[in-house]
Amino acid sequence: MNAYIYDDFLNKSRYRRALNKVEIRLTDLGLNGKIIRLGAIKNVKEVIQTEIKNGIKNIIAVGNNETANKVISAMITNKTYGFFQKDILFSIIPIGDNNSIAASFGIKKEDDACNILLARRIKKIDIALAGNNIFLNKAELVSDNAQIKIGEDYVLELTKKTKVKIVNLNDDADLVYKERIDPCDNLLNLVINNRGIDNTFITSSDIRVSGEGQLILDESVSVPLPTDVGIISEKINIIVGKDRSFN
Amino acid sequence: MFNKDNKLEKFKDAETIIGASIKVKGNFNGQGDIVIEGMLEGSLKTEANVFIGEKAKVNANIEASEAMISGEISGNIKIKKYLAIGKTAKIGGDVQCGEISIERGASITGQILVATDEVKKNDNKKIRPEEEA
């Protein structure tokens, strides 16, 4: 059984046509299911956990990165995750802008998403955590004074204003060392790129970021510094397309 | 590994790369190849290879299997196999290695010991007192 979680921004009339198209296509493919509209819900976690307990097998976020982040956080924050929730499949139907998570899954448009859901190509990937917030793709920071502690061993200090990315699942075709990023290896990748020539690349599962500023998770959630960044022990099952950014 | 033409290509696969705008403090231990183009204070140890770039400034003891050094190092260097020292290198510290090549222009202030067996013997000497204790 499927649950489609619609973000509240989809109430705007400009998304009506795209949503209608998706709903018709899902019905044609026999993939229709329960629709849950986030705009009408105060406690997203409780609603999604109840659906999981009631036997939902596929949870599909309909919207953008922020929607995906809200839905995954609601699926996983429950302490019993790893027991029955881990068999749930997650995917995205991208609508609107800011859809890099869907792109990294190989889902570029809403039309593709319906066919990809039908094909049920399943991959298991790591889930990253910054403070108490989950992210799938990356955590970003622009700073000239951040300190990044790797494990208990050493600390990196920035000496120039630089963009720092902590990547789990890559969504950037131009990212340096992108071919080395594996979202299934239980590791995060710290990529610091300064004007395309001065690059830093470190892998670790235990990172602490301190200094001024905030980490932006999946281009949608901000987390104040200092914060710990790592990988949670369970992985998530996702439905992906052929054009995904990983093997 | 250290041919001038293919050295960068070889190090593209390095496990850890520290860029020029980064300063690292602490004990850097790894299993794979490490490239340092920035600053490092502490210690650097890997079972694989180390590349220290021209603009790098390292204030640390270094231990590795093989190394190519073109930057500034203040500390002792212990390399199991081959050590290549480039013309821009400035080393202040003792050097131990199995084999060595030094380009004209490099500066070294310290003792150089080139002998695989000697390095091993010195290792054994260091271990013995701990074993007795």
* Count of positions (residues) in chain B: 133
| Residue B112: inside a domain | yes
CA B50 to chain A, closest CA, distance in angstroms equals 15
Q: What is the ipTM of this complex?
A: 0.83
Q: What is the DSSP string of B27-42?
A: EEEESS-EEE-SEEEE
Q: Is the per-residue pLDDT at A227 higher than 60? A: yes
Contacts of A146 in chain B (CB under 8 A): none
CA distance A4 to A59: 6
pLDDT tens-digit map of B39-74: 999 999 999 999 999 999 999 999 999 999 999 999
Residue B8 has what pLDDT?
Answer: 42
Range of the domain at B96: 7-132
Residue B6 has what pLDDT?
Answer: 44
Residue A160 has what pLDDT?
Answer: 82
CA B109 to chain A, closest CA, distance in angstroms equals 28
- Which of A153, A200, A203 comes nearest B18 by C-beta? A200
| Residue B1: inside a domain | no
Q: Kindly state whether A210 is in contact with chain B, defined as any CB-CB distance less than 8 angstroms.
A: no
Q: How confident is the model at residue B123 (pLDDT cuts 50, 70, 90)?
A: low
CA distance B84 to A54: 65
Contacts of A157 in chain B (CB under 8 A): 22-25
Q: Kindly state whether A144 is in contact with chain B, defined as any CB-CB distance less than 8 angstroms.
A: no
Residue B128 has what pLDDT?
Answer: 54
| Residue B49: inside a domain | yes
Q: What is the DSSP string of A87-114?
A: G-EEEEEE-SS--HHHHHHT--SHHHHH
Residue B121 has what pLDDT?
Answer: 61
Looking at the 3D structure of chain B, how many domains does it have?
1
CA B103 to chain A, closest CA, distance in angstroms equals 26
Q: Kindly state whether A153 is in contact with chain B, defined as any CB-CB distance less than 8 angstroms.
A: yes
| Residue B2: inside a domain | no
How large is the average pLDDT for residues A56-72? 93
**CA distances to A90, A117, A232, B35, B42 from A237, in Å:** 6, 13, 14, 35, 41
Q: Kindly state whether A203 is in contact with chain B, defined as any CB-CB distance less than 8 angstroms.
A: yes
Give me the total of CB pairs closer than 8 Å, taking one residue from chain A and one from chain B.
Answer: 58
- The residue extents of the domains of chain A are 2-120, 133-232
* CA nearest neighbour of A173 among A89, A224, A123, A108: A108
Q: Is the per-residue pLDDT at A146 higher than 80? A: yes
Class of domain A133-232: mainly beta
Inter-chain touch B28–A159, beta carbons under 8 Å:
no
Domain A2-120 has CATH 3.40.50.10330: yes
- pTM across the whole model: 0.87
Inter-chain touch A154–B21, beta carbons under 8 Å:
no
pLDDT tens-digit map of A147-194: 999 998 899 998 888 889 999 999 888 888 888 899 999 999 999 987
Q: Which residue of A has its CA nearest to B12?
A: A177
Inter-chain touch B19–A199, beta carbons under 8 Å:
yes
| Residue B15: inside a domain | yes
How large is the average pLDDT for residues A43-70? 90
- Which of A154, A157, A198 comes nearest B19 by C-beta? A198
How large is the average pLDDT for residues A127-144? 91
